[in-house]
Amino acid sequence: MAASRVSSCIAMAAAAASLSTLSNRAYADGPFNFYPFSSSSSSPSPEGDQTSKSKSDKKAQAEDSSRSSGFDPESLERGAKALREINNSPYSKQVFQLMRKQEDVRLEELAAEKLHHEAIEAQRAIDKQRKMHEEQRELIQQQGQAKAQMVRYENDLARKRMQTDHEVQRKNNVELVRMQEESSIRKEQARRATEEQVQAQRRQTEKERAEIERETIRVKAMAEAEGRAHEAKLTEEHNRRMLIERINGEREKWLAAINTTFSHIEGGFRVLLTDRNKLIMTVGGATALAAGVYTTREGARVMWSYVNRILGQPSLIRESSIARFPGSELISQAKNKILKSSTSAGAAGPVGSKNGHGNIVLHPSLQRRIDQLSRATANTKTHQAPFRNMMFYGPPGTGKTMVAREIARKSGLDYAMMTGGDVVPLGAQAVTKIHQIFDWAKKSNKGLLLFIDEADAFLCERNSTHMSEAQRSALNALLFRTGDQSRDIVLVLATNRPGDLDSAVTDRIDEVIEFPIPGEEERFKLLKLYLHKYLSDEGDSTAKWGVLFKKKTQKITINDVSDDVIREAARQTEGFSGREIAKLVASVQAAVYARPDCVLDTQLFKEVVDYKVVEHHQRIKLATEGGLPAFS
């Protein structure tokens, strides 16, 4: 407190001294320009600046002087004198007001200066902070650059390490793939060996099972036979006793009847012997009756054999267009007309009818060859020239029989079919039967196309050790009847093994035609043909006659089975013959009938096709394992 009062007194003395020194100048410069009461804040000017500078300088000097000397009484006296003069002045009140205003202005200037210094300090602090931030930013940038360089370096190291790892992994993968391939090869070899072993064990097991079954059947049959024998023995003894008793009873009856009969016969013989005319008539009547019975029996047998030889069909002929007896041809023609008239209002004809071969679908080149042979055969018949013999060979089910029948129909010839397998069991009678066929064929007024299926069954090479003497005689009989070209018979042989035929037989063949497995386009046409035949025409073909003879079948509905689906099926059925395709469509028909709604869709059609394809491959595999050709 005392210190503050001393400081305030010192300040007042300094102010009085400054006032005393500046009072003269105030009066000289203006009407009233005393320092403590002057104001320069309202309008800053160069003079004000100079005054403020002088004030600050004087103040500094006063402070220095006061600081050096401690106290100046003269200044205090001058200040007191100035105060007295002011008090005595008529403008004292105005002066004090002016002084008060100057003091306020000074205080404001001090506050402004303080604020200025504070702003300068704040600016310095801001500059310092900015500098520090710049230094920190530069440091952070330097650290970021260093970190980026470190990251790039680490990335380069990681990339090189990754490349090295990838190369090592690639080498490991290559080695692993090689080991896997070797392992798969070993597994496949082991699997094949296991399958072969399993197949061998299965065959051995089946063989043993068959032997066990045969032995079981034999033992069972022996046991049953022994049981039946024992039972029969017991029954026989019982029956014997019953029979003996019955015989004893019957013997007594028969003895009585015989005695009665012989007594009557004795009376009759006595009458005949006593009457000669009755004896002669009785002997003559018995003789005439015996002669009539014998003559009627032998005459009927001879007449039937003669009629059968003249008009009947040989027993080896399985199928023929020639009527078996007179009048049957008229009945057959009437039946065909009725069937044609009943089916004329049905659906359009099958797909194969467009090429003139009915239900036959052939390769275009083979079809042209068959058409040429049909026309040539027809023209040969017209000009009474010798016919040309043919041989058809190829896998089963490729249309050989149907083509032969179609050639006979288009050329206007009669048709007859036999099979070589029927000749072999005949033995010594085979020669007679073959001669009967050729004699019967000459009775045809149109000419006859004789089709021999499975010709290799009895027309094989005569040097073969498996050929019996009866087969060799039958072959010689056929060669004898076909030695010269005939104007009555066209001989058509069909075989799966043309190389097995005797050279003399092949020498009598004029045309050799191969029937291959149908291609994709032919399979497509066959599928459409049989689908139309078995499914589309199924309800129409039996609609009229089914009402009379059997109940009406449900009509099959085909949904979404397009040509693309059929063509895909034709692509899958590679290696199928025409007969196999017909069986495939028949399986489709059976699968459709297994459904309650009788609807054929794409899914069902594909399922049946896939199943038949797998079955076809299994059949080929079994035939190959059995040492047989795939088509035999």
Provide the CATH number for the domain around residue 351.
3.40.50.300
- Summarize the confidence of residues 203-215 as an average pLDDT: 84
CB-count burial class (<10 Å; 0-12, 13-18, 19+) for 114? exposed
Q: Which residue has the tokens 């200044």?
A: 75
285 within some domain: no
**pLDDT of 167:** 92
Supply the mean pLDDT for the chain: 77
Question: First and final CA of the chain: distance in angstroms?
Answer: 142
Asked if residue 413 is part of any domain, the answer here is: yes
- CA 322-327-332 angle, 5° bins: 60
Closest listed residue to residue 531, CA positions, set 597, 427, 605: 605
Position 579: which residue type? R
Does 562 lie in the same domain as 494? no
Instruction: Please return the burial class of 18, using the count of CB atoms within 10 Å of its CB with bins 0-12, 13-18 and 19+.
Output: buried
Query: In the predicted model, is pLDDT for residue 286 greater than 70?
Result: yes
- How far is the CA of 575 from the CAs of 261, 279, 604, in angstroms? 83, 86, 22
* pLDDT on residue 356: 45
pLDDT at 293 over 80: no
512 plus 539 within the same structural domain: no
Using N-to-C axis directions, what is the helix angle for 602-625 and 563-572, rounded to 10°? Answer: 10
Q: Are residues 419 and 375 in the same domain?
A: yes
**What is the domain range of residue 607?**
528-625
Q: What's the structural domain count of the chain? A: 3
With beta carbons less than 8 A apart as the criterion, state whether 585 and 530 touch.
yes
* pLDDT tier for residue 307 given thresholds of 50, 70 and 90: low
Which residue, 547, 527, 542, 628, is CA-closest to 587?
Answer: 527
For 132-146, 254-268, 296-310, 435-449, which range has the lowest pLDDT when averaged over its residues? 296-310
pLDDT at residue 539 in the model: 46
Q: Is the pLDDT higher at 470 or at 162?
A: 162
How does pLDDT run across 464-499, given as a tens digit for each residue? 666 788 888 888 888 888 888 888 888 999 998 888
Asked if residue 539 and residue 502 are part of one domain, the reply reads no
Mark whether 538 and 487 lie in a shared domain.
Answer: no
DSSP assignments along 391-445, one per residue: EEESSTTSSHHHHHHHHHHHHT-EEEEEEGGGTGGGGGGHHHHHHHHHHHHTT-S
- Give the position of tokens 């019982």: 238
466 and 559 share a domain?
no
- Once rounded to an integer, what is the mean pLDDT over residues 357-383? 84
**Is 414 contained in some domain?**
yes
Per-residue pLDDT at 574 exceeds 70: yes
Residue 65 lies in a domain: yes
Using the predicted structure, report yes or no on whether residue 549 has a pLDDT greater than 90.
Answer: no
In a domain, 97, yes or no: no
**Together in a domain, 508 and 379:** yes
Confidence band (pLDDT; 50, 70, 90) for 22?
Answer: very low
**Between these two residues, 317 and 38, which has the higher pLDDT value?**
317
Percent of the chain at pLDDT > 90 equals 12
**394 contacts 577 by C-beta, under 8 angstroms:** no
List the single range of 131-145, 344-358, 521-535 with lowest mean pLDDT.
344-358
Last residue of one domain, picked from the residues 453, 485, 516: 516
In this predicted model, what pLDDT tens digit does every residue of 492-545 receive, in sequence order? 999 988 888 888 888 889 999 999 999 999 999 999 988 888 887 654 444 444
Tens-place pLDDT, residues 78-104? 878 877 887 887 887 887 888 888 889
Is pLDDT larger for residue 34 or for residue 603? 603
pLDDT at 304: 62
pLDDT-based confidence at 116, cuts 50/70/90?
very high
Please tell me the predicted confidence (pLDDT) of residue 63. Answer: 55
Compute the average pLDDT of residues 587-616: 87
Residue 432 lies in a domain: yes
Q: Considering the chain, what percentage of its residues have pLDDT values greater than 70?
A: 75
Give the residue among 554, 557, 560 at the shortest CA–CA distance from 603: 560
Say if residue 341 is in the same domain as residue 412.
yes
- Which of 516, 545, 569 is the last residue before a domain boundary? 516
In terms of domains, do 448 and 545 share one? no
DSSP labels for 141-154? Answer: HHHHHHHHHHHHHH
Residue 290 falls within a domain, yes or no?
no
- pLDDT attached to residue 538: 52
pLDDT digit string (tens) for 254-266? Answer: 888 888 887 777 7
Banded model confidence at residue 205, pLDDT cuts 50, 70, 90:
confident
* Pair (576, 551) in one structural domain: yes
**What would the two tokens of residue 35 be?**
């320092």
**389 vs 42, higher pLDDT:** 389
Question: Nearest-CA neighbor of 439 among 488, 474, 475?
Answer: 488
What is the predicted pLDDT for the residue at 428?
A: 83
Residue 51: per-residue pLDDT: 47
Q: Same domain for 354 and 473?
A: yes
pLDDT above 90 (res 120): yes
59 and 15, same structural domain?
A: yes
**493, 516, 539 - which closes a domain:** 516
Structure tokens of 162?
């990754």
Q: Which of 23-27, 318-322, 548-552 has the lowest mean pLDDT?
A: 23-27
Model confidence band, residue 387 (pLDDT cutoffs 50, 70, 90): confident
Query: Is residue 35 pLDDT above 70, yes or no?
Result: no
Q: Which range among 209-213, 549-553, 578-582 shows the weakest confidence by mean pLDDT?
A: 549-553
Is it the case that residue 451 has pLDDT exceeding 70?
yes
Residue 193 within any structural domain of the chain: no
